[in-house]
Amino acid sequence: MKNFSLGKAFVPVAATITLIYLLLPIANVIMFSFNQKRGRNNISWNGFTLNNWLNPCGAPDVCTAFSNSLVVGAVATVVATVLGTLIAIALVRYKFRFRSTTSLLLFTPMATPEVVLGAGLAYQFLTMGVQKGLGTIMLAHIMFCISYVVVAVKARVASLNPAIEEAGRDLYASPLQVFFRITLPMLMPGIIGAALLSFALSFDDFIITNFNSGPVNTFPKFVYVSAAKGVPAQANVLASIVFIGALLLVIIVQMVNLNRQKKLARA
């Protein structure tokens, strides 16, 4: 008891409580993915079964909504990552008129409430006579994902040492060779992180999507509509797969980085 310190015990106890609080909803989703189906209700526990995992598309429209979210997330991520990376490089490395204004405007989608952003985009599509659907969802997601990519990649570009690129030019490398062989590999950790963030934001978005999706259903919309009667177990299965996949990806990246650090330490 003499060695007991309230200050030292507070941090691990608070961290454990916070971790449990964050993981409880995820544990609930995984648990109810094994729930037996009785009618259309998935709120109460009815018994353990593997049927939901063997047939994840058993609930009507769940796989259609899930595939729509994957397609939108993939397209928004690729386009936003390419455009955001180029914009970030331009903002850091080049001087041009209205550079400060451009940088400020890129933060606008991040600072604007999603309700306002979604309603504004919906009104814009309406006045232009654009039919809402998968295309309008992609445009909306690309718009707000670009901001996050620019912020993430811009920080990475600012941390690069220009002398390394100058050394490549001194060795008679062309501008394209310098970019693809020196600049891009050094930016890749930031680009990958920005791409993963973009996909997560796009896949998870509900408010902006709800304003601009029209008749097209996405996974967050499907879950929201189904929540009143309990999200179908098949939706919990797909959500669990996404979580497990993301967890495995993080573990793999950490293992790769650890092995790289060990190799550098030995060298």
Output the DSSP codes for 150-203: HHHHHHHHHHS-HHHHHHHHHTT--HHHHIIIIIHHHHHHHHHHHHHHHHHHHH
CA distances from 241 to 43, 204, 267 (A): 20, 14, 39
Alpha-carbon distance of 47 to 227, in angstroms, equals 20
Which of 79, 77, 90, 74 shows the shortest CA–CA distance to 183?
90
Domains in the chain with CATH codes:
60-231 (1.10.3720.10)
Tens of pLDDT, residue by residue over 6-50, are 667 778 888 899 989 988 988 988 898 888 877 666 777 888 888
Q: Which residues pair with 48 in a beta bridge?
A: 35
| Structure letter (DSSP) for residue 40 | T
pLDDT in tens, 100-153: 888 888 888 888 889 999 999 999 999 999 999 999 999 999 999 999 999 999
CB 133 within 8 A of CB 216: yes
Is the backbone of residue 160 left (phi > 0), alpha (psi -120 to 50) or beta? beta
Cα 191 to chain centroid, rounded: 13
Q: Over the stretch 198-215, which tens digit does the pLDDT of each residue have?
A: 999 999 999 999 999 989
Confidence of residue 155 (pLDDT cuts 50, 70, 90): confident
Whose structure tokens read 């796009």?
Answer: 202
Q: What are the CA-CA distances from residue 195 to residues 117, 148, 201, 252 (Å)?
A: 22, 9, 10, 17
Of 32, 59, 29, 60, nearest in space to 46 by CA: 32
